[in-house]
Each structure stands twice: as C-alpha cells, then as structure tokens.
Amino acid sequence: MIEFRQLTKYYGELCALDHVDLTIETGQILGLLGPNGAGKTTAMRILTGYLDPTSGTINAGGLSIEKDILKIKEMIGYLPESAPLYENMIVYDYLEYIAGMRGLKEAQSRKRLSELADACGLRENMHRPIHELSKGYKQRVGLAHAIMANPEILMLDEPTTGLDPNQIVEIRNIIKEIGKEKTVILSTHILSEVEATCDRIVIINHGKIVADGSTEELKQSSKSEYSVNISLKNAEFNDVNTELGKIEEIKEIESIGKNNEALSIRLSCHTDKDIRDLIYKRIKEQTWILVEMTRDIKSLEKIFGELTKEN
Amino acid sequence: MLKARNIAQIFKKEFSVYFISPIAYIVISIFLIVTGWFFFSTFFLYSQAELRSFFSLLPITFSFIIPAITMHLFSEELNSGSYETLLTLPVSIKDIITGKFLAALAFVAIMLLPTLSYPISVSFLGDLDWGPVLGGYLGAILLGGMFISIGLFTSGLTKNQIIALLTAIGICFALTLIENLLFFLPESMLGFFQQIGAGYHFRNISRGIIDSRDIIYFLSFIFIALYSADLVMQGKK
C-alpha cells in the first residue's frame, strides 16, 4: 500500500503538487492522468526518491520516504519518460549493470537477463549499443530495466509514447500481467490507454486531484447529464422548441444546424432516466420525420476536458 | 551510509565507460606526449639521473588533463536525463560520488602507468634515487585525487560539460599557480597562501619527504570537495 499524505512540492514559486492525499492499494493498476505540467511526473519522482517533497510525506509498504528511501527504492521499478539510458553502453552491459545495482548475483543476473530479453523482445538487440536502437527498442530496454528485480511497485511515465500499435499492445499486456500481483502506477495523456489497462483513474490538475475512481465510476458520475441529438425532416425549429419543451427533463434545446432539409437539434437532459421514449412519443404525434436519434454519454475525453479546463 | 556493493557497481560501470569511448585513449595519448616531450627535451641537457623536471610539470599538466577526465561525470548524466534513472536505483548520492571518484582515480593511475618507463630507463643511464620517484608517484595520485574531486564538484554544478571543464581548469590552475603570485602579497599573508597552494605540498612529497601535513592537506581537500559535490547534488532534489 502506498499513501501520499499532504504531499506538496514547490519549484521556487511554482506549485507543482498542492497537499495531495492519495492511497493506492496493493495490486491496483492506477492511471495518473492530467494535462502537461499537472504534477504527475513530480508525484512519481518524489516516490522514487529523485526529488524531495517541500512538505508532506509518502509511506510505501510501511516505510516512509524520509527514513527508508533506499529500501523503498528497492521495491520500486521506474521507467522515466522517454527512458533516458546510457547511450554508449551495449544493451547487455547496461542491463547487467542494473542487475548488479539491484543486488542480483552473477548467475541470477544471467538468468534474469535471458528472461527479460524474451519478455521485452530484445533478444536480437542485446549486443548493440543503446544509441543505435530505435525509440521503441529504447523504451523496451527501459522497461526491462524497470522490471529487473520483480519490483513490488512498478511506475511507468508515459510508457507507450513513440511505440507502434503492435508494441503498444505488447507493453499493455506486460503491464496487465504484472498488475495481477503488483501495484502499477501509470502516467499518461492517452485516455484510451487508461481505459484499456487501469483499474482506477486519478486525474490531477494544477497539482490537485480533481477526480478519482474507476473508468465506470467516472462516467457514471456524469450520467445524470447527457444529451440527445436528433435530426428531423419536415420540421421548424420553433415548433420543435415548443413541443419538446413540454418535457420536463429537457433543460435546453438548441439547433446545431440544418442540412439536406433535416434539422439537427441537441437536447440537453438532466435526469437519471433514459427519456428517449418520451421524446419519440412526442415526435410521433407530429408530422415530423425522425431520421436520427443518438444519446451521447460523456466520454472520458469530455470528463477529462471539463475537469482540467482552465479556470 | 556508504555501501561497498553499490560503490563497486558504480566504479565498474564508470571505469568501463572510459574505455568504451575514444576519450580515454585521446586523453592518455595527449598526457604522454606532453609529459614525455617536456621531460626528455631537457633531460639530456642536465645529465642528471632524476625525474625532477617530470614531476615539477605535473601539477600544470594535471590542471588541464584531469578536468577533461572528470567533466562528463555528472554533466552528461544531468544533460541526458540518465541521472534520474540512476537516482531511482537503490543507491545514495554518496555512493554515486564515491564510485565515480574512485573510477576517475583508477583512470589517472592507468594514465600514469606508462610513465613508469621514464624512471626505469633513467635508472639504466645513471644512479637513480628511487625515494623521490616513489614520493613523486604518491604525490601524483594525491594531487590527481584532489583535482578529480574539484572536477567532480564542478561537473555536478552544470549540464554543460564545457562549463564544467573550464571551471575546473580555472580552479586547478589557480591552486597550482597561487604560490607564483606570492610576491604581490604582504608578508603576513605569505604563509597562508603558500599552504593553500597545491604546488607547495606536491613539491614536498615529490622530493621524497613524506610529511603528514602534506598528506592531510590533500586528503582534507579531497574530502571537502567531495562533500561539496554531495551538497550540490542533494540541493537538486
């Protein structure tokens, strides 16, 4: 279990994290979302011991970062954004060095390197210098580095940027596999990635947590507000406005355009129920022809946009 | 607390990195050409079987060569971002500094190794007194350690290797030449500035007189510079 308590970090005047409280259970795959500069990376860097907090603390597995940072580091595997590595080292030497730093004995290290070469698809590139590798392969070396010692906590900062679609799927599978037993913290801007891999989503904006829950919960929370888009032929906006305005649950009716003689209208609804049948009944009473009707529940993108909008 | 296992790992990696890149070979070649030239160009004029002229030039050559050996130690990592990766491994900053320091020191020792051919060839030409030679090499290691600690410190200050290099050259050069500027100073301050200069202490040792004061000078200087480097790196957190 990892607990962030009143975690605050200032870079000079700039506040990167503002009294953040967060508890992460073991075995969770947590997606950390937020716009650029929201404080995601800062939060991760504090947990890895790269930065010290201005105030507040983090406890991980009963240890606090002030006293036992070295022990916490032993529990953590971290892949920083864009995987900065020692460019002039050979992949094998680099991973061997990391194994040594992680306290693996020589025989263990050789065995582990061989496992990782297969798990991360590095077999053919083990004896090339890192600077010759493509971005995707560097990312794989970074991942091998992060999971070297089977860490209890795996932290990945934008792990799939620069990868091709196949590699993204592979990396997601690796993450899911690890996430079965271990805690995984994943920072990203790619929302579909979070939906595909994470149990829980935390959205950070301006150093504060603005949303916390599973993908379903986040979508649910905004379910009472949705819109229904309809297209009608043979109708005038004013008539539609008076007729459909009689339905209580509809808060607002607006015309969003007209083409091919069909009038497009958005109805903003404020209710827990699905009122499409009510709308349909009203339309049936008229001479209008209904050509389209869709219900638009907010996507994660919309929720994200609303929560992190300026002001 | 320092952990020997971590220091050994950092040492091994840093030391091998020297020989992966061509820098090591270039630096060693330049060092041998410069010292060899200055030593042998005057050696036969004096017809004395001693290495004094070799050792007397060493502080100045080291002032240029050693910052070139140390400039990348932190700057490169800060610039590429690999410093972040390094710090997330279970090592303390003190381990990192000690490992890097020892790796550079070992490199300097390797660099000095070929120069052992000078005293050996000189000993065939005349009756060489080995005392000053051994003292000279001990002094060279201590002086090297001192300049490495300065270079390590300046390398931690900046992402830019050139700035790290020039700052370190400036400090090392000043510490070497300070005693030559003593005639500008009032007599009451002479003793202090003579003691602070590296050249004075190095010359004492390279005469073959091993005095604890000179050894303490070098060791405490190394300690202070490495400790300052630690403070600088802690300050970045």
Out of A78, A87, A88, whose CB is closest to B88? A78
Cβ(A273)–Cβ(A236) under 8 Å? no
- Say if residue A169 is in the same domain as residue A236: no
pLDDT tens column, B154-200: 999 999 999 999 999 999 999 998 877 777 777 777 778 888 888 88
User: Are B89 and A98 in contact (CB < 8 Å)?
Assistant: yes
- Residue B89 at interface with chain A, using a CB cutoff of 8 Å: yes
A151 in the same domain as A278: no
3-state secondary structure at position A309: coil
Across the range B75-91, mean pLDDT stands at 91
Residue A297 CA to residue A222 CA, distance in Å, equals 8
Sign of the CA dihedral running B34, B38, B40, B41: positive
A189 and A264 part of one domain = no
Domain boundary among A177, A201, A219: A219
Same domain, A278 and A140: no
Residues A191 and A265 in one domain: no
Residues B121-143 have a mean pLDDT of 90
Cα distance from A36 to chain B (closest Cα, Å)? 18
**In A18-57, which positions are buried (b, 16+ CB within 10 angstroms) versus exposed (e)?**
bebebebeeebbbbbbbbeebbbbbbbbbbbbbbebeebe
User: Residue B83 is inside which H or E element, if any?
Assistant: helix B82-87
Q: Which of B23, B89, B91, B94 to mutate to test the interface with A (most CBs of A within 10 A)?
A: B89
Largest Cα–Cα separation, chain A = 82
A285 and A245 in a common domain: yes
With CB atoms and an 8 Å threshold, state whether A101 touches B17.
no
A145: left (phi over 0), alpha (psi -120 to 50) or beta: alpha
Structure tokens at A125: 């590139």
Final residue of a structural domain among A219, A239, A271: A219
- In whole angstroms, what is the distance from residue A245 CA to residue A242 CA? 5
Q: Which residues of B touch A70 (CB under 8 A)?
A: 90-92
Tell me whether residues B84 and A50 touch, CB distance under 8 A.
Answer: yes
B12 touches chain A (CB under 8 A): yes
Could you tell me if B51 and B119 are in contact, meaning their C-beta atoms sit under 8 angstroms apart? yes
pLDDT at A310: 61
Interface check B84 vs A, CB under 8 A: yes
Q: A167 and A51: one domain?
A: yes
- Average pLDDT (B107-123) is 92
How many A/B residue pairs have CB atoms within 8 Å? Answer: 63
In angstroms, what separates the C-alpha of A10 from chain B's closest C-alpha?
A: 11
Chain B contact present for A48, CB below 8 A? yes
pLDDT grade, residue B215 (50/70/90)? very high
Residues of chain A with Cβ-Cβ distance to B85 below 8 Å are 78, 80, 83-85, 145
Write the DSSP symbol of residue A291: E
DSSP single-letter state for residue A90: B
Is the domain of A131 the same as that of A67? yes
- In this complex, is the C-beta atom of A60 within 8 Å of any C-beta atom belonging to chain B? no
Together in a domain, A259 and A185: no
Among candidates A50, A83, A97 on the partner chain, residue whose Cβ is nearest the Cβ of B87? A50
Whether A127 has its CB under 8 Å from any CB of chain B: the answer is no
> How many angstroms separate the CA of residue A172 from the nearest CA in chain B?
22
Averaged over successive runs of 10 residues, the pLDDT of chain A (311 residues) comes to 90 88 89 86 89 90 86 90 85 92 90 89 90 87 89 88 80 82 86 82 88 79 76 86 84 82 84 83 88 79 75 47
Task: Look up the domain containing A71 and give its range.
Answer: 2-219
Say yes or no: B5 contacts chain A, CB-CB below 8 A: yes
User: What confidence score (pLDDT) does residue A311 get?
Assistant: 47
A107 part of contact set with chain B, CB < 8 Å: no
Chain B positions touching A102 (Cβ under 8 A) are: 89-90
- For residue A49, which residues of chain B lie inside 8 Å, CB to CB? 87-88
Look at residues A179, A195, A219 and tell me which one is the last residue of a structural domain. A219
Q: Are residues B237 and A100, on separate chains, in Cβ contact within 8 Å?
A: no
pLDDT band of residue B236 (cuts 50, 70, 90) is confident
Please report, for the domain that includes residue A156, its CATH number: 3.40.50.300
Label the pairing between strands A262-270 and A250-259: antiparallel
Alpha carbon dihedral B78, B84, B87, B88, in 10-degree steps, equals: -170
Note whether A78 contacts B85, CB cutoff 8 Å.
Answer: yes
Three-state DSSP class for residue A44: helix
Q: Do A97 and B12 touch (CB under 8 A)?
A: yes
Q: Which residue of A has its CA nearest to B22?
A: A88
Residues A228 and A215 in one domain: no
* CB-closest option in B13, B20, B80 to A97: B13
What confidence score (pLDDT) does residue A222 get?
63
Looking at the 3D structure of chain A, how many domains does it have? 2
CATH of the domain at A240: 3.30.70.3100
Q: Do B90 and A85 touch (CB under 8 A)?
A: no
CB contact under 8 A, B21 and A76: no
Same domain, A226 and A189: no
Instruction: Answer yes or no: do A11 and A152 share one domain.
Output: yes
